[in-house]
Structure 1
């Protein structure tokens, strides 16, 4: 039987965050695992080839990242029992690559992601982050479907 010691939960600040963390919490309780709550923020403009712009733009972006990090910490505290070891990380970058790199760094044994329910035709033509994670992950990916079918 596989033992999970580090569970990475990739979140995007939607309504299903509590559901994702509830699953992570139940698995962590069973195995004595640590939960890593990770959110990938948009990369800095210079990372994607754009000028960073005037100082006020950089200051505004820094304030946005501070607010996202604070929200991430609050989510972790709200949804994960204090008796379970957990941490929250805000990382900038390209979502799929950044989640996979962070999973390796943290020695994650499992990745938990949420998936939006969509129609057959939507899924046929659109590649989602969760599908890309499934295709490229070297560790088990646990997918939690949420949302109304569109």
Structure 2
């Protein structure tokens, strides 16, 4: 696979020796080969939540929960998960750039966010999922 970079409009590139090269929107500025590998785990013997696949426990907020947080006050989301036949290995999340993740041990995590004045009155989704690895 090759990743290519194209200009949004026609441009002129000047080389270090003073020569110039014109590039249109259909001319690649650069091309970089990309390589990656996938590691596919075997299928879990059971898809029941809480066995091999983690399940969330209280105090984890329900899916779709909404919180109204005043500017400069912290929102702390406590997350607890369990899987009896797997090891909880991490928490992946997306949200505002200044969310801070903490690992509290044994399938427990927290996400803390303090909205700024520029974020006031806006909706800021925070999404998360727990990762687990087979115990074998």
TM superposition score category, shorter chain reference: under 0.3
- The TM-score, its normalising length taken from structure 1, stands at 0.21
- TM-score, normalised to structure 2, is 0.23
With CA pairs under 8 Å and 6+ residues apart, which has the higher RCO, 1 or 2? 1
Q: Which has the higher strand share?
A: 2
Name whichever structure is richer in helix by fraction. 1
